[in-house]
């Protein structure tokens, strides 16, 4: 949200965090699909014409079903996009990725989504995945700068480094908050770190240029509304820290 709203400040945005049921990473495909559909329905009810699933697990477990089974019958004029395809496009366009490491949630790793999508375009690229279930809880608890975080990162990165990766995908939108710490661990190793927030913002800008029929329906009023299914003081404090300015959050329920 921070990066997209900076890249495209002229539009109106709504952010929905399903904090009451997060994290999604260890849940089944069916549960993730149902949760994601409920979130999409809420955002559509608030007037959104375009929804981005800013979650790799939702993008891998729910996006295609929503696009094929839900939108054509209930909201054919609206669009739902994910974060995996734009990231894969960036990897391919770089022309330098031959051995790609992916840090992600258990759900994203088990879906094999990155491996499948990358090899659709270039079957010669090797993909190595590592599930990192502790990183989201660490960030959600506000422990980004703790010594424990550094130890956990090194533990997760070690098996990927042994594979001699040349690129590293931070395959969870939370992980971008750890970019500087990951860069420290990788310093001097010549590994390109692929961070989704910058990629999604750039790709969204391009998408709207290519789809004026969608862009014309977007509300042009620079405002941002934040919603959460579990409004706590910690969420507001961390959200303000992550977003870079104070935010006001409304609690909603499905």
| HSE-CB for 46 with a 13 A CA cutoff | 19
| Residue of 1, 32, 39, 55 with catalytic role | 55
| Residue of 1, 80, 109, 172 with catalytic role | 172
Residue 162: count other Cβ atoms within 10 Å of its Cβ.
9
Q: Is 56 exposed, middle or buried (0-12, 13-18, 19+ CB in 10 A)?
A: buried
Question: Is residue 55 flagged as an active site residue?
Answer: yes
Sheet of 167-171, strand order: 126-131, 99-104, 167-171, 192-195
Do you find a cis peptide bond into 250, omega within 30 degrees of 0?
no
Determine the Cα angle at 154 with ends 106 and 151, to 5°: 100
Question: Is residue 172 flagged as an active site residue?
Answer: yes
> Which residues are part of the catalytic machinery?
55, 172
């Amino acid at each position: 949200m921070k990066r997209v709203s900076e890249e495209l400040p002229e539009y109106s945005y709504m952010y929905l965090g399903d904090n009451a049921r997060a994290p999604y990473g260890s849940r089944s495909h069916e549960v993730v699909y149902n949760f994601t559909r409920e979130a999409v329905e809420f955002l559509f009810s608030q007037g959104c014409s375009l929804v981005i699933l800013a979650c790799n697990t939702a993008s891998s477990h729910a996006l295609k079903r929503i696009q094929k089974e839900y939108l054509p019958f209930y909201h054919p004029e609206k669009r739902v996009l994910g974060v995996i395809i734009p990231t894969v496009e960036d990897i391919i366009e770089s022309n330098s990725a031959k051995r790609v490491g992916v840090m992600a949630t258990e759900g994203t790793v088990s879906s094999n989504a990155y491996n499948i999508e990358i090899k659709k375009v270039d079957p010669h690229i090797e993909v190595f995945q590592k599930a990192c279930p502790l990183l989201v809880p660490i960030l959600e608890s506000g422990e980004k700068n703790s010594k424990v975080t550094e130890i956990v990162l090194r533990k997760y990165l070690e098996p990927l480094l042994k594979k001699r990766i040349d690129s590293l995908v931070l395959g969870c939108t939370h992980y971008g908050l750890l970019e500087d710490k990951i860069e420290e661990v990788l310093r001097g190793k010549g590994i390109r770190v692929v961070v989704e927030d910058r990629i999604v913002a750039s790709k969204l800008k391009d998408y709207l240029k290519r789809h004026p029929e969608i862009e014309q329906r977007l509300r042009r009023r620079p405002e941002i509304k934040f919603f959460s299914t579990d409004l706590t003081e910690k969420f507001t404090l961390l959200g303000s820290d992550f977003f870079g300015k104070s935010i006001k959050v409304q609690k909603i329920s499905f």
